Structure 1
């Protein structure tokens, strides 16, 4: 189902901010113990986006699927008090991940989506489309891992937490041997700062494309050997 925002557009990565503490947060594996906090950080980082509007339950299942799927890769950033201040998640099997998400927790996911649809019944088509078809892009990305979501607590000073999360995720996927490069999608309109951030951190823009609902997305690609200078 990104960092990144409608159910049929979940990989669109949103704004990147920083940690709430002066010290650099510790990075580690995302676990089921972090799900509530990861959902909270996502809601804070992406206010007003479609996935956020579906509520914390859906977000918990989104991140739970990344924790449980053998094809998923995710990293959490923890502040000095052990609080979650950032999350990055993605999958090396983007074509099948969202179908797998249904199989991993069908009852839990149904309850979460059902509760969301009580609030937003018109969202049913977007949700079903996203779960059935995933996130196709009009460029060859076979063998690529998808960076689904990256978010950092917004009430923060910029200290490079987003970049550290991104590099840790890239290293994790590369070391797994399950992909030979990575790609992501993000909004192409009104999103210049985020696109510059990716361009400055080793990502190459493949181009823009319009989805069936009219939303225009930009697709970025990154090989493992493009690590930016520290």
Structure 2
């Protein structure tokens, strides 16, 4: 998952924290009781994944508490390499990612990450998204999905979500000055 994430999101904040951090992050996400994930496989190899959770603030708190020693280790490494990144991580964990959770209906789930290995990108992204949507609608009784994505230099992702039935519900600027778009999609009952 870390390699797929790194290739799909070059230059993004989590990617900058390194493959070891990403591997532990996704391992924790997979094992979290509230997360909902799905993998896309080709000949026994993972080529894509989608993962989300209904409450990002609670997810980050559990992530820190359950594996504190691992995250303390990562925090120290990050502090030495990227001192400002530690503040960003702690803000997300303790104060929630308010840009993702404001006005969220309780039966909606956050699509936190979806990524597909480049050689499989063309059709696989939609296949993966539809499979994840079906899984959460049927198995977990969520009524909708929400997500945020960058507005700038991101026309491909914006087009992807729009063509798959997501509607833009909000535009906002993060504390770091990034303009973001919030998308939502209601799932069929």
- Unmatched runs of 5 consecutive residues or more in structure 2: none
Q: Which of 167, 170, 185 is 2:133 aligned to?
A: 170
Distance change (3 Å), C-alpha of 1:132 and 1:123: same
How far did 1:178 drift?
A: 4.9
**Distance between the aligned counterparts of 1:172 and 1:135, measured in 2?**
25
User: Pick from 92, 104, 109: which aligns with 1:141?
Assistant: 104
Give yes or no for the alignment of 1:124 onto 2:86. yes
* Residue 157 (structure 1) shift: 5.2
Equivalent residues of 1:181, 1:221 under 8 A apart: yes
Match of 1:203 in 2: 166
Q: CA RMSD in A?
A: 1.8
Query: Relative contact order: is structure 1 or structure 2 higher (C-alpha 8 Å, sep ≥ 6)?
Result: 1
Unaligned runs of 5+ in 1: 1-37
CA shift, 1:176, in A, is 3.2
SS at match of 2:98: coil
Bigger share in helix: 2
Map Cα deviations across residues 108-147 of structure 1 (whole Å, 9 max, x no partner): 1221232222211222211111111232237521221000
**In structure 2, what is the equivalent of residue 30 of structure 1?**
none
Residue 221 of structure 1: CA displacement?
0.2
- Deviation track 1:141-178 (CA, whole Å, cap 9, x = no partner) reads 12210000011112x15441111111121122212335
Query: What TM-score do the two structures reach when normalised by structure 2?
Result: 0.91
Q: What is the total number of aligned residue pairs between the two structures?
A: 187
Give 4+ residue runs of structure 1 displaced > 4 Å after superposition: none
